[in-house]
Homo-oligomer: A and B are copies of this chain.
Amino acid sequence: MKGQSAIRLARLQQALASGGTLRLADAARLCGVSQMTIRRDVAASGGTMTFLGGRLMMAGDPQFAPLYDLDEQKGSHPLAKQRLCQRAASFIDEGDSLFIDCGTTLMPLVGALGNFEQLTVVTYALNVANAVGHLANVRLVLLGGLFHASSSSFESDAMPAAISRLGINKAFISAAGIHPEKGVSCFHFHEVVPKRAAIASAGQRILVTDGSKLGVIRPAFFADLDQFDIIVTDAETGRQLDEAQSMQSHEDRIKVVLKY
């Protein structure tokens, strides 16, 4: 009798892989052992699964991640994103057809979509799709392809064609780096294709970013700053961007929205 515990763990993991929860009592019955043994197994497994209110579930699932982790800096960052997206959402009109970029920055934007009668959302991000899929008032178009877990998004060379066929009203774009001269960049190269396609075909281009990205350069450039019609950011970043733009001709100036 050696790896009994591991066998049980594997069985539970398999049961939970399709994404659900198991009551402790059921998990125990499934494995034919006592509840205490299941608890011990899970505790020894070191973080792959957790209990939450008497229910066993896969840990590390973003679904269960608290929105504001109190252990971090007191809600400053998540709240910042929420405020940012609240501001960004003010540019949405009834009946709009929106492109929503991948990443975590624009997730709170989805929450604001419930206030409209009818919208259409186009995205290539799985997390965005999941959130939007729950809204009855929003038509969702997901651009599929090969999945990249690192960005929770899909890659496909068919995306530009698909996007150009879709008629996107407003494109909400996120970024990992923003540089006044060098432009806007992100981490993953496969994001460049859909980002560029959305920027090219959208009626209005809205860049949403918090201050931590200013002056930062990431591996994959995908746009210049002046390709955006609106930039939604916080006060300090906005001020600096304004300064940088003042040196340009007045015609090129883009609208920068300050949040705080």
Contacts and interface: CB of A to CB of B under 8 A. Distances in A.
A58 B134 contact: yes
Contacts of A154: 142, 144
A131 B19 contact: yes
A227 to B, nearest CB: 25
Interface in A57-113: 57-58, 61-68, 70, 75, 82, 107-108, 110-113
A135 B129 CA distance: 19
A63 B146 contact: no
A67 B25 CA distance: 12
A183 B98 CA distance: 41
Contacts of A158: 158, 162
A20 B146 contact: no
Number of copies: 2
Nearest to A17: B111
B144 A142 contact: yes
Given A17-B114, A52-B53, A162-B158, A144 B144 contact: yes
A37 interface: no
A188 to B, nearest CB: 16
Contacts of A57: 64
20 contacts: A13-B111, A15-B108, A17-B114, A18-B127, A19-B134, A20-B63, A21-B65, A23-B66, A23-B70, A26-B67, A51-B53, A52-B52, A53-B54, A55-B66, A126-B129, A126-B130, A133-B147, A140-B146, A141-B146, A142-B147
Interface of A: 10, 13-23, 25-26, 51-55, 57-58, 61-68, 70, 75, 82, 107-108, 110-114, 124, 126-127, 129-136, 139-147, 149, 152, 154, 158, 162
